Structure 1
Amino acid sequence: MARVSSAHDEYIARAPERFRPILRELRGCVAAALPEADEVMGYGMPGFSIAGVTVVGYAAFSRQCGLYLPAEAITGQAESLTAAGLKRSKTGVTFTVARPIPDDLLDRLLRSARRHLGV
């Protein structure tokens, strides 16, 4: 069974109030998509790890949230991210309450990340 971390709860509780619901939802979606993943903390950011390899991390900032994955996962979904109106960097996708990551796109990103990491 995957390890659940109270540090994720604490992180979300400290996030800006308007982002807490979307972070809770994101956490649940990732946990459902990666049921064998352990919740971990790295670089002060909550994430999910399989066999010691971090597959995805997430964070909240003052104006937006971020989802962090291997660069190949971002590149592979670049068109879908643009079509969804989401900004991306080499290893991250930023989103807000008004413009969250669609569930089907999140699932594709996570599957791609696993494939590229070999876990």
Structure 2
Amino acid sequence: MVSKAATIDEYLAALDPEPRAELERIRALVTSLVPDAVESMSYGMPTLSYLGRALVYFTASKKHLSFYPSSWAIEELQDRLTPYKTTAHAVQFTLQVPLPDELIADLVHVHVREIEAGRQ
């Protein structure tokens, strides 16, 4: 939606207040879970990386928000993602049905585990 942003702050600043607040919540949660996460923009999306690898991406579009934790995390926790539309790499959600903190944390922990194990 805001593909020209050079930083996560620029990306978020261009959003309407409601989706901005939701993505800021996700950003804060992930950085509290993985304090060594490094922020950047990659593929036009806010990105948090860990040990030199993308850990999560998060985006806003007109009709939904997306959280990209890794295909491994989505596959492992698929039974808990049934309220949401998923793709191989993303979980789509809305402001009306947001991702709970506990689910985000579990998705992030799965991906951290896989990164630390050297999974490609």
Query: Under a length normalisation based on structure 1, what TM-score does the superposition of the two structures give?
Result: 0.88
Q: CA deviation at 1:21?
A: 1.0
Q: CA deviation at 1:9?
A: 1.1
Say if 1:16 and 1:61, in contact at 8 Å, map to a contact too: no
Q: Could you tell me which runs of 5 or more consecutive residues in structure 1 were left unpaired when the two chains were aligned.
A: 1-5
User: 2:86 — aligned with what?
Assistant: 88
User: 1:114 — aligned with what?
Assistant: 112
User: 2:27 — aligned with what?
Assistant: 27
Q: Could you tell me which runs of 5 or more consecutive residues in structure 2 were left unpaired when the two chains were aligned.
A: 1-5
Runs of 4+ aligned residues of structure 1 deviating over 2 Å after TM superposition are 15-18
User: 1:79 — aligned with what?
Assistant: 79
What are the Cα deviations for residues 71-118 of structure 1, in whole angstroms up to 9, with x where unaligned? 110001100111xx1111111001111111111111000000111222
Mapped partners of 2:50, 2:26: distance in 1: 18
User: 1:57 — aligned with what?
Assistant: 57
Provide the secondary structure at the position in 1 that maps to 2:41: strand
Mapped partners of 2:44, 2:16: distance in 1: 16
| Alpha-carbon RMSD | 1.4
Range with greater deviation from structure 2 (24-33 or 12-21): 12-21
User: 2:3 — aligned with what?
Assistant: none
What are the Cα deviations for residues 2-60 of structure 1, in whole angstroms up to 9, with x where unaligned? xxxx8111101112443111111111111111111111110010111112111111011
Mapped partners of 2:51, 2:102: distance in 1: 25
Mapped partners of 2:89, 2:10: distance in 1: 24
Say if 1:70 and 1:116, in contact at 8 Å, map to a contact too: no
Mapped partners of 1:69, 1:80: distance in 2: 14
Mapped partners of 1:51, 1:72: distance in 2: 17
Provide the secondary structure at the position in 1 that maps to 2:81: helix
User: 1:3 — aligned with what?
Assistant: none
Query: Under a length normalisation based on structure 2, what TM-score does the superposition of the two structures give?
Result: 0.87
Percentage identity across aligned positions? 31
Task: Give the counterpart letter for 2:10 in structure 1.
Answer: E
Number of aligned residues: 112
